[in-house]
Amino acid sequence: MNLDVFSVPKKYAESHSGVIDGCLYLYNPLSLKGLALLNQEAQVFYDYIDNTRNLSTILKLAKEQDPNITQQDVIEVFESFLESDIIYFDQPKAPKDTFISKPTQLGVWMHITNQCNLRCKYCYVNKTSEVMSKEVAETATKNIFRDAKRHGFKHITFKFSGGEALLELSTILFVTDLAKKLAKETGLEVEFVVLSNGVLITEEVAKTLKENGIRASISLDGTEKYHDAQRVFANGSGSFKFAINGIENLLAQKVPFNVSVTITNKNAENLPELTKYLLDKDIPFAFNFYRENPYVTEDLYGEDEKLVEYVKKAYEVIYNNVPKNSLLAGILDRINFVHPHRHTCGVGNSYIVVRHDGTMVSCQMTLEQPIGDVFHGDLVATMENECFIEPKGLTVEGKTPCNTCMWRYICCGGCPLLTKEHKGVYTANSPYCAVYKELIPEVLKLEAKRLLVYGINK
């Protein structure tokens, strides 16, 4: 818009702000623009905004501090604010103006085996000898590309899982080769991730992943004592040393990977030490909160206060060793700061899960609840129409009290399955709600520190 001296800048009511090392940072959860860090000059102008002063009045105030400031200087500063979505003129942007109207990225969870070499305390998979055949893998991959193209998706991410997916490395490579060919034929982009406990990642396996363009996500739940308390072999012995060896092989072969940390009451106190290790190794990581399932025999939930306490201590380690790359995408469970959205995850709209036998389910946590299969019908339509969440089409606007929370479009009420398990309905807020509200501002503070260390963006 064209600004003039009569334009009145206004602050978004739901913006979050804080000060770090004398710099003001702002985050508008209804915007695509992310966090803005203001230098001292910009902060002075922002402080002049009271939702009634026009730019002419603000110019007069600014001239009292610096007579050399011009009208053009003021207009340029406020154009920058407007571009960053930290202010508005006339009417604020509505959330619908920033939603991605239709997802273009399809996630495909390929559950290729029930087998596993570990017996982790919180695992949700019933261990059997069943594996995905090449025939099922081929049919699934071909039909996924067919229907993704038909429904306008542009990008497909295959996540290979189990059990331990690397027990079926040949199937992973088969799907990868086929998908690359289909990507060329259809014009779709494709990427691959293998989810692994790390135990089987020898130097040779790491080289194979690198050569085939397959990223890895490795489960590591703590330093040795804490990791081995919940990630064990069938005989009860710990897997830490084997997982670390796998991580070292990935690092040596320069395979892109991240570490996934599942936080329970057995390892929460170790988060700060584990965080320091990962930062020292420059390994990206994600924090995930434990979710109960029928195969867990221990009480692994912890008190919210303890969870917040130790996550904050981990954040303090990050604050003092801030990495160059943003951590917004992974260090608070299911919270997604990347863009405003109305669903916690892709279940029912951009996420297909294929079991080893070709059966489709809505989520990897609902492997025993089939919604269709890869042999019949339109797979994307099945994903959309047979989703377990009720009522159909539920978004965060249909959840109470989520629909009045300032963080509603980055949290979306948390995992719907967890909410249903604890509260009996999908339309309530997450049992982790209080934890999220306490920690979201802390994550934004970390992002502000990163921007301050590696370059102010405003």
Q: Same structural domain for residues 109 and 74? A: no
Q: Same structural domain for residues 280 and 415? A: no
Q: Same structural domain for residues 63 and 193? A: no
Task: Specify the CATH number for the domain of residue 367.
Answer: 3.20.20.70
Residue 423 lies in domain: 392-441
Q: Which amino acid is at 277?
A: Y
- Residue 129: is it exposed, middle or buried by C-beta count within 10 angstroms (0-12/13-18/19+)? exposed
Give phi and psi for 67, each to the nearest 5. Answer: -60, -15
Residues of the chain where predicted confidence (pLDDT) is lower than 50: 458
Task: Specify the CATH number for the domain of residue 15.
Answer: 3.90.930
As a residue count, the chain comes to: 458
Count of structural domains within the chain: 3
Q: What is the pLDDT of residue 328?
A: 83
Position 452 in a domain? no
Position 258 in a domain? yes
Q: To 10 degrees, what angle do helices 271-280 and 304-320 make?
A: 30
Residue 201 and residue 222: Cα distance in Å, rounded?
Answer: 19
Q: What is the pLDDT of residue 458?
A: 45
Q: Same structural domain for residues 66 and 161? A: no
Position 335 in a domain? yes
Cα–Cα distances (Å) from 343 to 249, 353, 356, in that order, read 37, 17, 27
Q: Same structural domain for residues 256 and 400? A: no
Q: Same structural domain for residues 135 and 20? A: no
Q: Same structural domain for residues 120 and 177? A: yes
Q: Determine contact, residues 61/96, Cβ cutoff 8 Å.
A: no
Position 280 in a domain? yes
Q: Torsion angle of alpha carbons 48, 54, 59, 64, nearest 10°?
A: -50
pLDDT digits (tens, 9 = 90+) for 426-446: 999 999 999 999 999 999 999
Q: Same structural domain for residues 310 and 210? A: yes
Position 251 in a domain? yes
Q: Same structural domain for residues 326 and 184? A: yes
Residue 197 and residue 219: Cα distance in Å, rounded?
Answer: 5
Residue 448 and residue 36: Cα distance in Å, rounded?
Answer: 8
Q: What is the pLDDT of residue 456?
A: 60
- Residue 437: is it exposed, middle or buried by C-beta count within 10 angstroms (0-12/13-18/19+)? middle
Residue 446 and residue 316: Cα distance in Å, rounded?
Answer: 9
User: What 3-state DSSP class applies to 175?
Assistant: helix
Position 455 in a domain? no
Chosen domain end from 97, 126, 147:
97
Chosen domain end from 97, 125, 143:
97
Position 194 in a domain? yes
Q: Same structural domain for residues 137 and 36? A: no
47: CB partners within 8 A, 6+ apart: none
Position 447 in a domain? no
Lookup: tokens for 191:
């990427």
Q: What is the pLDDT of residue 4?
A: 86
Q: Same structural domain for residues 182 and 262? A: yes
Ramachandran assignment for 92, one of left (phi > 0), alpha (psi -120 to 50 degrees), beta (any other) = beta
Q: Same structural domain for residues 207 and 301? A: yes
Chosen domain end from 43, 70, 97:
97
Residue 373 and residue 379: Cα distance in Å, rounded?
Answer: 8
Q: What is the pLDDT of residue 292?
A: 84
